Amino acid sequence: MSFEAMLVQAEQSSLVQMEPGWGQGRAIFGGILAALAVAHMQARLTGEAKLRALTISFVAPVEVGEVEFKAEILRAGKSVTQMQCHLLQQGKVVLSALASFGVARSSQVVVTSETAPDFGDIKDGLSFPYLEGVIPEFTRKIDFRYTDCDLPFSASSKSHINGWMRWNDSAEVSANRAPLLSLIALIDAWPPAILQMLDRPNPASSLTWTLEFPNIDKATLSQQANPWWQYRAHTDAARNGYGHIAAEVWNEYGQLVAISRQTVTVFA
């Protein structure tokens, strides 16, 4: 099933069928689950409030099969609506999401974010080959380009990622339909920046993930149907099997569109 077909299910129903092709090991790709949770919550909103911040807790692996979505409005104020969404499989919570939707308000406080750094030309970036049983299955649907950094499992001394991302044709995604949801899924597609420090494949997974959207009030995040998004991640700290990683995403105009932070576990 395509990403957009799953979005329609999440918007219209409390049950979504997770199908093969979107896996990472025994679990479904977390970025897709987060995007579907937002789609389910947005469909139950009224008014012009837009997603300002999102917090995800990956409670347990989500397997191929039916997933139940339960959304609840925790509070609806004049400017901000706080919502919660739980994903359940076999009656147990597998993902918990908290979302803050807010309308734009006039403010005397304006801080302009820095423009995107120069990563060089996209065509000069390195692609990571798909290796069945080693690389997550869902990555075949995404075009990654690594620039000025090392690839996963390369025994690097670096713990940052610079690069570009967009959907491959096989994902059947037209980002102009739901650009924010498409972007949410893509941001989580990158491997944790600490994996390049390993000398061989080892499992890693996200525990928590937060996203903020500083330019959400613009008419569109991008003018292109399937744009290249510029991505930069750096590891703030890692020890005792846990890594703490911050990331930023820019659009084709060099505007900061998303701020990300993850806590990940690594089993090496």
Tell me: the pLDDT tens digits for 103-128?
988 889 989 888 899 988 899 998 87
Does residue 150 register a pLDDT over 60? yes
pLDDT digits (tens, 9 = 90+) for 71-95: 999 999 999 999 999 999 999 999 9
> Residue 47 has what pLDDT?
83
Q: What count of residues does the chain have?
A: 268
Strand partners, 179: none
Does residue 173 register a pLDDT over 80? no
| DSSP symbols for 128-194 | PPP-TTTS-GGGGGEEEEE-SS--TTS--S--EEEEEEEE-GGG---TTTSHHHHHHHHHTTSPPGG
Is residue 170 included in any domain, yes or no?
yes
Q: Which residue has the tokens 């959400």?
A: 216
> What residues contact 4, with CB distance under 8 A and at least 6 apart?
172, 173, 174, 177, 178
One domain for residues 62 and 131: no
pLDDT digits (tens, 9 = 90+) for 4-40: 889 999 999 999 999 888 998 789 999 999 999 999 9
One domain for residues 5 and 135: no
- Interaxial angle between packed helices 3-12 and 30-42, expressed in degrees from 0 to 180 and rounded to the nearest 10: 40
Is residue 223 included in any domain, yes or no?
yes
3-class SS of residue 112: coil
Does residue 45 register a pLDDT over 80? yes
Residue ranges making up the domain that contains 223: 114-268
> Residue 174 has what pLDDT?
64
Q: Six-digit token pair at 126?
A: 């390195």
3-class SS of residue 81: strand
Which phi and psi (to 5°) does residue 222 adopt?
-155, 150
Distance, C-alpha 200 to centroid of its chain:
25
Is residue 108 included in any domain, yes or no?
no
> Residue 177 has what pLDDT?
63
> Residue 77 has what pLDDT?
93
In this prediction, residues 55-77 reach a mean pLDDT of 97
One domain for residues 221 and 94: no
In this prediction, residues 99-106 reach a mean pLDDT of 93
3-class SS of residue 233: strand
Strands 160-167 and 229-239, by their bridges, are antiparallel
Q: How far is CA 132 from CA 21, 25, 88, 140, in A?
A: 12, 10, 29, 10
> Residue 243 has what pLDDT?
96
Q: Which residue has the higher pLDDT, 2 or 9?
A: 9
103: exposed, middle or buried (C-beta count within 10 Å: 0-12, 13-18, 19+)? Answer: middle
One domain for residues 146 and 198: yes
Tell me the CATH number at 245: 2.40.160.210
Cα–Cα dist 173/88, whole Å: 25
pTM score, whole prediction: 0.93
One domain for residues 5 and 24: yes
Strand partners, 85: 71, 97
Is residue 109 included in any domain, yes or no?
no
pLDDT digits (tens, 9 = 90+) for 204-242: 889 999 999 998 866 456 767 788 999 999 999 999 999
Task: Of 124, 127, 62, 132, give the one whose Cα is nearest residue 93.
Answer: 62
Which band of pLDDT confidence, cut at 50, 70 and 90, is reported for residue 3? confident
Number of domains in the chain: 2
Q: Which residue has the higher pLDDT, 172 or 148?
A: 148
Residue 51 CB coordination number (10 Å): 21
> Residue 183 has what pLDDT?
93
> Residue 120 has what pLDDT?
85
> Residue 236 has what pLDDT?
96
